[in-house]
C-alpha cells in the first residue's frame, strides 16, 4: 500500500542520514557514485527490517485493532503496542546511528611511527610503555596488535571490521541488520533491540492468536484473515529466532565474552592464553547497563568503563613491555604480521 511505501521511504532516508552522522572512514576518498552505491548496499538489510516492521505495524493497527469487539480493549492494546514500538524503534535507531567504538587518540600512530613500523621494521615495544597504554594482549604470532589500515596500536579487545573499514573497541561482530558493527558503545542498544523485538513479536502473536484461532474454528474464508495469519507466522518466526540469539548474547554478557572471543582464546603478553577475568555475579550487567536499574531498559548511555582497560584471569592490569627481539626484522614480515590479526 501507499502507507507502507511511504514509511519504508522515510526509514531508508533516515538510515542514510544516521550512517552519515556515524561516519564511515575512507568514504570521503571514494568517488561519489561508489560512495552512494556503498551506502545503499550496506543499508539494504536495514531497509528490509524497516519494511517488515512497516507491514506488521500497518496490519496490527489498521487490520487487527478495528476487528476487536470492544473499543476500550482496542485502545488499551493499541497503547501498549505503541509503547513497545517506541522502545523498539529507539533501540534500533541507536544501534544504527551510534558509532560502536572509536579508538582513542592515544592509540593512533604518527606518520613517522607508522613508516618505521611498516617499512623499516622498527621497534614497537617502546610505544605502549612511553604512552602508558594499558595493552595486555598480543596477536597469535606473539607481537603487538597493530592495524595497518587504521594506523593504530589496537587496544585490548579491539578488532578491525573489514565491512565498516575501521577498528572497533570491544568489537562483538558486524551486524548487517543494523548496518553497523556491534561494539563497546552500542552493545547495550543492540541487546535492547533484540529484547524489544522479542517482546513485540510475542505481544503481537499473543493478542492476534484468539481471532486467528476463532477464524479457523468457524471455518471463515482464509482470504478474509490472510494478513493476520501471515502476521502470526512472521511474529512467531522472528520472535523465536531473535529469542535464541538473545539468549546466546545473555550468556556472553554473563561470562564477559564477545562473539569473537568465544571462538578463540586471547594471547597475553606473558606468553599465556586465556580469557578476560569473569566478573562477579551481577557485575557484568552493571558494567553494561549501569548501576541504576531504572535505566536498564531504556536506550540511553548508562554503561561503565572506557573500553580500553580490562582485567585478565588471575593477573592485574599492567603496562606492556615487549622485548625488541620479538619485533619483526623486515618490513615484509612486519606487514604480514600486521595483516594476520584483524
**What does each of the 342 residues of the chain score in pLDDT, given as a tens digit?**
445 554 555 555 555 545 444 444 444 444 455 455 555 667 788 889 999 999 999 999 999 999 999 999 999 999 999 999 999 999 999 999 999 989 999 999 888 777 776 665 556 667 777 688 888 888 887 888 888 889 999 999 999 998 888 999 999 999 999 999 999 999 999 999 999 999 999 999 999 999 888 887 776 655 557 899 999 999 999 999 999 999 999 999 998 899 999 888 888 887 788 888 877 768 889 999 999 999 999 999 999 999 999 887 654 334 444 443 443 333 333 333 333 444
Give the Cα separation of 68 and 261 in Å (integer). 49
**7 contacts 50 by C-beta, under 8 angstroms:** yes
* 175 is a catalytic site residue: yes
CA 64 to chain centre: 33
Distance between CA atoms of residues 66 and 54, nearest Å: 18
Residues in the chain: 342
Cα–Cα–Cα angle for 263, 142, 106, rounded to 5 degrees: 90
Q: What are phi and psi of 321, to 5 degrees?
A: -130, 110
Cross-strand partners of 161? 166
Neighbours of 256 (CB within 10 A): 18
Q: What is the dihedral of CA 300, 304, 305, 310, to 10 degrees?
A: -130
The pLDDT value given to residue 104 = 93
Structural contact between residues 130 and 106, judged by C-beta atoms closer than 8 angstroms: no
**DSSP one-letter code for 342:** -
Burial 109-124 (b: 16+ CB within 10 A, else e): beeebbebbbeebbeb
Alpha carbon 7 to its chain's center: 24
- Catalytic pick from 18, 175, 181, 201? 175
Q: Which of 91, 100, 104, 114 is nearest to 163 (CA)?
A: 100
Considering only CA atoms, which of 166, 214, 185 is closest in space to residue 301?
185
pLDDT at 92: 96
pLDDT at residue 12 in the model: 54
Measured distance CA(56)–CA(51) in Å, rounded = 9
Which regions of the chain does DSSP assign to beta strands (E)?
Answer: 137-138, 146-147, 152-153, 159-161, 166-168, 173-175, 180-182, 266-268, 273-274
- The CA distances from residue 113 to 63, 103, 136, 177, in Å, are 63, 17, 20, 37
3-state secondary structure of 204: helix
Q: Which three cell numbers stand for residue 96?
A: 544504527
pLDDT for the residue 41: 63
Distance CA 12, CA 4 (A): 12
CB 117 within 8 A of CB 65: no
Residues whose CB falls within 8 Å of the CB of residue 153, separated by 6 or more in sequence, listed in order = 107, 109, 124, 127, 128, 133, 135, 144, 145, 146
Q: Would the pTM of this model clear 0.75, i.e. be above it?
A: yes
Amino acid at each position: 500500500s501507499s502507507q507502507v511505501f511511504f514509511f519504508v521511504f522515510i526509514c531508508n532516508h533516515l538510515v542514510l542520514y544516521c550512517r552519515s552522522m556515524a561516519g564511515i572512514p575512507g568514504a570521503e576518498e571514494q568517488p561519489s557514485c561508489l560512495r552512494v552505491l556503498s551506502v545503499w548496499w550496506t543499508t539494504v538489510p536495514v531497509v528490509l527490517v524497516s519494511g517488515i516492521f512497516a507491514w506488521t505495524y500497518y496490519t496490527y493497527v489498521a487490520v487487527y485493532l478495528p476487528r476487536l469487539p470492544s473499543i476500550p480493549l482496542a485502545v488499551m492494546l493499541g497503547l501498549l503496542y505503541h509503547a513497545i514500538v517506541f522502545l523498539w524503534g529507539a533501540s534500533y535507531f541507536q544501534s544504527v546511528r551510534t558509532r560502536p567504538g572509536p579508538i582513542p587518540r592515544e592509540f593512533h600512530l604518527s606518520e613517522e611511527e607508522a613508516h618505521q613500523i611498516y617499512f623499516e621494521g622498527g621497534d614497537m615495544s617502546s610505544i605502549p610503555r612511553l604512552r602508558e597504554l594499558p595493552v595486555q594482549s598480543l596477536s597469535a604470532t606473539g607481537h603487538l596488535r597493530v592495524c595497518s589500515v587504521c594506523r593504530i596500536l589496537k587496544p585490548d579487545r579491539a578488532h578491525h571490521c573489514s565491512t565498516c573499514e575501521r577498528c572497533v573497541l570491544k568489537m562483538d561482530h558486524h551486524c548487517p541488520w543494523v548496518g553497523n558493527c556491534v561494539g563497546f558503545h552500542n552493545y547495550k542498544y543492540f541487546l535492547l533491540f533484540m529484547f524489544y523485538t522479542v517482546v513485540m513479536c510475542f505481544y503481537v502473536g499473543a493478542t492476534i492468536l484468539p481471532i486467528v484461532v476463532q477464524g479457523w474454528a468457524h471455518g471463515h474464508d482464509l482470504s478474509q484473515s490472510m494478513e493476520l495469519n501471515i502476521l502470526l507466522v512472521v511474529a512467531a518466526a522472528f520472535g523465536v529466532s531473535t529469542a535464541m540469539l538473545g539468549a546466546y548474547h545473555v550468556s556472553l554478557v554473563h561470562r564477559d565474552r564477545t562473539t569473537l572471543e568465544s571462538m578463540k582464546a586471547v594471547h597475553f603478553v606473558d606468553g599465556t592464553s586465556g580469557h578476560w577475568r569473569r566478573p562477579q555475579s551481577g557485575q557484568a550487567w552493571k558494567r553494561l547497563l549501569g548501576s541504576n536499574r531504572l535505566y536498564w531498559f531504556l536506550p540511553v548511555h548508562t554503561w561503565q568503563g572506557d573500553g580500553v582497560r580490562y582485567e585478565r584471569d588471575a593477573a592485574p592490569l599492567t603496562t606492556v613491555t615487549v622485548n625488541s627481539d620479538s619485533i619483526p626484522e623486515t618490513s615484509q614480515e612486519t606487514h604480514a604480521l600486521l595483516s594476520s590479526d584483524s
